[in-house]
């Protein structure tokens, strides 16, 4: 009999409050044109705001007593930044000594220039955070973590992309998965924002950030399709994601993509927060909790 909670969060993105503060009027206006809700704020130096957010979250987790925590990517703003990684280690990393914390790779953790993973960036990520695609079990349920940055831009690592797809296929179609009460997937990029067959073009309500190609917020259709097929064949119902820094739920033919606002700097109207997911034998429900 299963009856437990877990936490799903995304984008603590340590360092972003500093980068997104103290901007000039033009830079702010450009970001707002792209529907990025940048706040007018004097320059924030250092990582204090992220430290506050992370401590608040950990305090709140004391009452929730989650079975585990999944961090859906963008732990840091700048891949490889020692201070940013150190703050994640001191907070979520320490919490993980007692309660399992499962990391998911985000574009800011594993992408060169926040976009394209290569051999060095993936090896560095693995040395800091462990595997980037893997699965784990809790009670009778199965949880699968994907590296969506590799799905987004696999050009420098085609073999890793192939390996990840094989692992996803094997894991989903294993007897163990088929017998699981729930099979849940976590990734950084939302698989889609509206429907599974949407093109890699921007919605008016979700344009890509300045200087990015259309489709920045999701997994490109070419590599989304095979993933969706595998998930549908295995009757997976829920994919949790982040990357968009606001809450959003899209559902297509029984496959739900749940996007959770940032634990760090929010880019929409939703405040910073995380999701509490409640799992029982025949139900999986979730609610967003404001920090
Ligand atoms: Fe991201």
210-224 pLDDT, tens digit per residue, is 999 999 999 999 999
- 281 CA distance to ligand 1 middle (Å): 32
- 70 CA distance to ligand 1 middle (Å): 15
Q: What is the pTM of this model?
A: 0.98
- Superfamily of domain covering 3-290: Metallo-dependent phosphatases (3.60.21.10)
Q: Name the pLDDT band for 99 (thresholds 50, 70, 90).
A: very high
- 174 CA distance to ligand 1 middle (Å): 30
- 65 CA distance to ligand 1 middle (Å): 27
Q: Name the pLDDT band for 178 (thresholds 50, 70, 90).
A: confident
Q: Name the pLDDT band for 2 (thresholds 50, 70, 90).
A: confident
- 262 CA distance to ligand 1 middle (Å): 10
Strand 101-103, strand 238-241: pairing: unpaired
pLDDT at 177: 80
- 242 CA distance to ligand 1 middle (Å): 7
Which of 265, 277, 280 minimizes the C-alpha distance to 64? Answer: 277
pLDDT, average across residues 82-95: 97
Residues with CB under 5 Å of ion ligand 1 are 74, 106-107, 243
- 150 CA distance to ligand 1 middle (Å): 13
Q: How many residues does the chain have?
A: 291
Compute CA 54 distance to the chain's CA centroid, rounded to the nearest angstrom. 16
pLDDT at 175: 79
HSE, CB side, 13 Å, CA atoms: give it for residue 56: 15
> What is the spatial distance between Cα 201 and Cα 215, in angstroms, rounded to a whole number?
5
Which of 1, 11, 2 minimizes the C-alpha distance to 259? Answer: 11
- 171 CA distance to ligand 1 middle (Å): 25
- 62 CA distance to ligand 1 middle (Å): 27
Longest Cα–Cα distance in the chain: 57
Burial letters for 205-224: b for 16+ Cβ neighbours within 10 Å, e otherwise?
ebbbeeeeeebbbbbbbebb
- 71 CA distance to ligand 1 middle (Å): 12
Q: Which long-range contacts (CB under 8 A, 24 or more apart) does 223-230 make?
A: 223/151, 223/152, 223/154, 223/161, 224/151, 224/191, 224/192, 224/196, 225/196, 225/197, 226/165, 227/146, 227/151, 227/165, 227/168, 227/191, 228/191, 228/196, 228/255, 230/165, 230/168, 230/169, 230/172, 230/173
Which of 249, 176, 191, 194 minimizes the C-alpha distance to 222? Answer: 191
- 30 CA distance to ligand 1 middle (Å): 19
Q: How far apart are the first and last CA of the chain?
A: 31
What are the extents of the domains in the chain? 3-290
Q: Name the pLDDT band for 62 (thresholds 50, 70, 90).
A: very high
- 24 CA distance to ligand 1 middle (Å): 23
- 243 CA distance to ligand 1 middle (Å): 4
Residue 141's DSSP bridge partners are: 138
Contact at 8 Å (CB) between 21 and 44?
A: yes
- 136 CA distance to ligand 1 middle (Å): 23
pLDDT at 268: 96
- 82 CA distance to ligand 1 middle (Å): 19
- 107 CA distance to ligand 1 middle (Å): 5
> What is the spatial distance between Cα 89 and Cα 66, in angstroms, rounded to a whole number?
19
- pLDDT beyond 80 at 95: yes
């Amino acid at each position: 009999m299963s009856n437990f909670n877990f936490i799903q969060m995304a984008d603590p993105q340590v360092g972003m409050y500093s980068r997104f503060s103290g901007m000039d009027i033009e830079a702010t206006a450009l970001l707002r044109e792209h529907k990025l809700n940048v706040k007018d704020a004097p320059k924030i130096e250092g990582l204090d705001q992220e430290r506050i957010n992370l401590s608040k979250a950990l305090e709140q987790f004391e009452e929730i007593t989650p079975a585990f925590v999944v961090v859906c990517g963008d732990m840091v703003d700048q891949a490889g930044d020692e201070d940013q990684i150190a703050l994640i280690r001191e907070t979520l990393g320490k919490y993980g000594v007692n309660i399992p914390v499962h990391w998911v790779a985000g574009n800011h953790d594993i992408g060169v220039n926040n976009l394209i993973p290569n051999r060095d960036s993936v090896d560095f990520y693995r040395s800091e955070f462990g595997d980037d695609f893997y699965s784990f079990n809790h009670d009778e349920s199965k949880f699968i973590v994907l590296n969506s940055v590799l799905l987004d831009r696999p050009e420098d690592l085609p073999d890793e992309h192939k390996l990840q797809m094989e692992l996803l296929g094997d894991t989903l179609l294993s007897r163990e998965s088929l017998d699981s009460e729930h099979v849940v997937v976590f990734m950084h990029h939302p698989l889609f924002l509206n429907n599974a067959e949407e093109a890699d073009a921007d919605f008016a309500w979700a344009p890509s950030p300045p200087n990015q190609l259309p489709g920045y917020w999701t997994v490109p259709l070419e590599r989304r399709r095979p993933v969706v097929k595998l998930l549908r064949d295995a009757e997976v119902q829920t994919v949790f994601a982040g990357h968009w820094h606001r809450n959003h739920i899209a559902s297509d033919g029984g496959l739900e993509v749940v996007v959770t606002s940032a634990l760090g700097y929010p880019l929409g109207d939703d405040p910073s927060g995380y999701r509490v997911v409640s799992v029982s034998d025949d139900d999986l429900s979730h609610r967003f909790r404001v920090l």
